[in-house]
Homo-oligomer: A and B are copies of this chain.
Amino acid sequence: MKLLEDKILAEGRALNSSTLKVDSFINHQVDPVLMDAIGREFACHFKNAGVTKVLTIESSGIAPAVYTAMHLNVPMIILKKQTSKILNGNVAQTNITSFTKGTSYELTLSLDYVNPSDTVLIIDDFLANGEAATGAVRLAKAAGAKIAGIGILIEKSFQKGRQKLLDQGYDVYSLARIARLDEGIIEFVK
């Protein structure tokens, strides 16, 4: 997606061979016009996949996911990183280890909102080792849902997440695929 690639080149900051900061338009400050365009692009790609729910992981996936859901005319569901006092009862949970952030957390989905009649599209901001996306897939499957595919804003194509998801047979649609990062260097997959 040229719009996103251009934004990454203009405002993204490559700090080293694995870290790309996109705080100015995705992770901290968010550009709503870009999010709307991204949502439209995902909705277009997955329009014949029978999507009934869009799933995302809090919190950077929420903005692109809610626009994707709007353009597909379905609800969006936020997989929660913390079980609040308010969300309890009939839930599925799975553990995620984020190598990028050096953290581990429990991801929760209420089974009140996803069931075997659903086909879910998973949206996330980054795909690196695929831990978060794979966790979202596990939760959707625990709810008995089918997986329409996985939509990613920025894929670190030099890491193994994409292949891991392809090997499981999923449609992985990444809007920007990065072949190489280094200090001040961002190269896309050609």
Residue ranges of A at the interface with B (Cβ–Cβ < 8 Å): 19, 21, 23-24, 27-33, 35-36, 53, 58-60, 62-63, 66-67, 69-70, 75-78, 80, 84-87, 100-102, 110, 112-113
Instruction: Write the nearest CB–CB distance from A14 to chain B, whole angstroms.
Output: 12
Q: In the complex, what residue of chain B is closest to A35 when comparing beta carbons? A: B66
- Asked if A87 and B23 sit within 8 Å, CB to CB, the answer is yes
Apart from A29-B76, A30-B62, 7 more pairs, CB < 8 Å: A27-B86, A28-B87, A58-B59, A62-B66, A63-B66, A85-B102, A86-B101
- Asked if A77 and B28 sit within 8 Å, CB to CB, the answer is yes
- Asked if A101 and B75 sit within 8 Å, CB to CB, the answer is no
User: Do most interface residues of chain A lie in helix, strand or loop, or is the interface mixed?
Assistant: mixed
CB-defined A-B contacts under 8 Å, sample of 11: A23-B110, A23-B112, A27-B78, A28-B78, A29-B77, A30-B69, A30-B77, A32-B66, A58-B58, A62-B62, A66-B67
- Asked if A29 and B66 sit within 8 Å, CB to CB, the answer is no
Bound Cα distance A80, B113 (Å): 26
